Every structure is written in structure tokens, then in C-alpha cells.
Amino acid sequence: MSQLEELRKKAIRPTVPQRTDSFLSSESEPDSSRNISELPFRELETSESVSSSPSSLMNKATKKRQKGVRLDEEIADSLERFCLEEKITIETLIEAAWLEMQNNQKLGQRILKAAKARRQKRFKLGRLQAKKTELAALEAEIAKFSD
């Protein structure tokens, strides 16, 4: 068999039929173009009020995958340990903290102030690291000319 025939056989690949057993209908998919501030605030129901049928559970809480979160290594380790000990996920901890922050304005303001301070510190450290990288590149250039 020639190489050309082998390539043609490899190019013809079986196709997978379109799935029709979607959990969400096209009308119930979230509109990602909406601003989060436009979304109504609603607290998740407690486990006593949620019925046990799978279809009703799917309608109660939909989930959206978020981008990866970068955390300080020490804080990430501590957070993971805490969640393991309490038998909760980091995601549910964040959700609960967000809901509490929305319900308690003083707490929300304190957290926001701390978050802005941490962001400013990270920004300064990032600029410092960029300057160190630039300095190393300049020192390498100078070393080329001095040899």
C-alpha cells in the first residue's frame, strides 16, 4: 500500500453523533454578556428545603466554571487544610463568604479594604520583579561589551 493511500485512510475519521441528552435547555443557559451587578441576589436554599429528585436539584443551582485562582502559597495551603478539616470545598467556602459579605455591609467593606491593600502590595512586588528582570538583562548586555 502506498503512503498516499495510508494518509487518505487516516484522513477519513469516524464522526461522533450530536448529543441530545443535554441537562440544560438552550433557553436556560446563562447569558454571559450580562453584568454581575444586574443579576438578582438570591441565597442558595438549605438542604432541608431541597427535594431529592435529580431533576429538581439540577434546576436549583447551576454552576459556572471560573478561571483558575492564584493564591499566596502559604494561604492556599492553609485554606486547603481548613477545608479538608471542615469537610467543605474551597468553592463552597467562597460562595458562603460572598453571601455573608453581601448581607453584612461592614464586613464587606473591611474585606474589600483588605483586598485592595493586598492587590496594591502584589502590584508593587510585580513592578519590583519586572525591574529586577530588566536590570539582569542590562547587566547581561554590559557583560557582552566588556568582554
Per residue in 63-91, pLDDT (tens digit) is: 777 778 888 899 999 999 999 999 999 99
Q: Could you say which DSSP state residue 26 is in?
A: G
Q: Which cell is 120 given?
A: 496594591
Summarize pLDDT for 37-52 with one digit per residue, the tens. 444 444 444 444 444 5
- Give me the pLDDT at residue 87, please: 94
- Give me the pLDDT at residue 128, please: 94
d(CA 31, CA 21): 21
**Per-residue pLDDT for 101 more than 90?**
yes
